[in-house]
Amino acid sequence: MMFWILLAAIVGSTIAIVYLVQRKWIAPWREMEQLVKQVGRGEQPRTFLIDGGKEARRVSVALEEILIRQRQLDRQIGERATGQKAILSAMQDALLVVDGQSRLALMNPAFQDLFGVGEDSLGVPLLESVRDPAVEQIVGETLRQRKPSQGQLVIGRREFEMTSVPMGTDNGTLTGAVVLFHDITELKRADEIRRDFVANVSHELRTPLSILRGYIETMIDDPKLPRSETARILEVMDQHSKRLGLLANDLLTLAQIESDRSTLELSEIDLLRFFNDLVRDWNKKFAAKNLKVVVDVDGDCPKIRADEARLREVFDNLLDNAVKYSNENGEIRLCAGRHDGAIALSVSDSGIGIGSEDLPRIFERFYRADKARSRELGGTGLGLSIVKHIAQLHGGSVEAESVLGKGTTIRVVL
């Protein structure tokens, strides 16, 4: 009897111990396993409360803290990725990052547009995706020599300065290179314009100065020149000194218009009154070539706000060209009207016209479609450039239309 009582006690104790172990140790860790799997999948568990011993409860609390920290890190990484993407998208220069094996690791939209590659090119070798030996050469030189390298390349009609810089860890291990493509097309064009401008100014000054110096030397060497010859020489000198004066005035005007200090004194201008004043002041020059002048201002054309002195300078230049290049008994038209939500003011003549190859360049400084005739008529080559800059100073633009032998129209849109 005692045996069976002892056996029952042992079995009951064993069952109690097994139940206790199951409840306190085995069951909580199974729940813990499920929690870990949910956290690993990025899911939010319904609860982190676990029945069991203190150790299991401490682990569940730590797991909850890990999930909270993980989500904070994910949010920070997302914010940084969004910020990085915004920065890369805002960059006008093309940016490329390659790894140590010269494979594409990162690129911005400007680079994708420039070379016609997409996100699927990430991880692809540089030469296979870009297919430009110059790019491969500069990047390869950076990776081999572990120092920055530079070069220039032409893509279509654009020129780029390419800079490649090695990228590595603190212990000196090379991890890749950062490559920047800076568009220098406009800089090159500006430098070319500057050189042309200096050369043109030098040329325009040299011709009248050499003539003046030659005649001065003639008069010094032979002070007893006949009066008629002296008068002829002085007349030529006077013409060239006036040409120098006109050139100096136009250069100063252009410099003033282009300076940051240039301001406009705006006022309301009645265009019909403005054009009639112009015709009155230019009437003598019109009459000299028997030119017919037509003023055409649309009835619904409003007054404009502009700097009248500057606008007068624009039309003095345009009328000067119209008179010079018009044939005898020709016609000049001054027109104003609405034009695509703006006001267009134009001067048209029925003169010699401008060729299609010259028309796009007539607003450049010193550019002359008919160089010999322009100099003969006393032009400085700066008039239309001044017109363009005054229009731009008003926030407007200029346009030109012409047919050889039929005339030219210069339009100022404000």
Residues comprising the chain, all counted: 414
What's the pLDDT band for 42 if we cut at 50, 70, 90?
low
Write out pLDDT tens, residues 262-291.
Answer: 677 889 999 999 999 989 989 998 999 999
Instruction: Determine contact, residues 121/101, Cβ cutoff 8 Å.
Output: no
What's the pLDDT band for 201 if we cut at 50, 70, 90?
confident
Please give the pLDDT value at position 85.
Answer: 66
Write out pLDDT tens, residues 355-380.
Answer: 888 888 888 777 765 554 445 555 66
Please give the pLDDT value at position 347.
Answer: 92
Please give the pLDDT value at position 21.
Answer: 46
Write out pLDDT tens, residues 53-106.
Answer: 566 566 666 666 776 677 777 677 666 766 666 666 677 888 888 888 888 888
Please give the pLDDT value at position 41.
Answer: 65
Please give the pLDDT value at position 360.
Answer: 81
Q: Rounded to two decimals, what is the model's pTM?
A: 0.53
Please give the pLDDT value at position 244.
Answer: 79
Write out pLDDT tens, residues 223-242.
Answer: 778 888 888 888 888 877 87
What's the pLDDT band for 109 if we cut at 50, 70, 90?
confident
Instruction: Determine contact, residues 322/347, Cβ cutoff 8 Å.
Output: yes
18-22, 54-58, 127-131, 194-198: which has the minimum mean pLDDT?
Answer: 18-22
User: What percentage of the chain carries pLDDT values higher than 70?
Assistant: 75
* Rounded Cα–Cα distance for residues 127 and 103 (Å): 9
Instruction: Determine contact, residues 381/365, Cβ cutoff 8 Å.
Output: yes
pLDDT at 147 over 60: yes
Please give the pLDDT value at position 411.
Answer: 92
- Name residues whose C-beta falls within 8 Å of residue 340's C-beta, 6 or more positions apart in sequence: 413
Please give the pLDDT value at position 79.
Answer: 64
**pLDDT (average), residues 341-368:** 83
Closest to 403 measured CA to CA, from 344, 365, 361, 348:
348
Structure tokens at 207: 């011709």
> By CB neighbour count within 10 A (0-12 exposed, 13-18 middle, 19+ buried), where does 108 fall?
buried
> By CB neighbour count within 10 A (0-12 exposed, 13-18 middle, 19+ buried), where does 129 fall?
buried
| Sequence-separated contacts (24+) of 26-31 with Cβ below 8 Å | 27/51, 27/52, 28/52, 28/53, 28/56, 29/56
Please give the pLDDT value at position 6.
Answer: 59
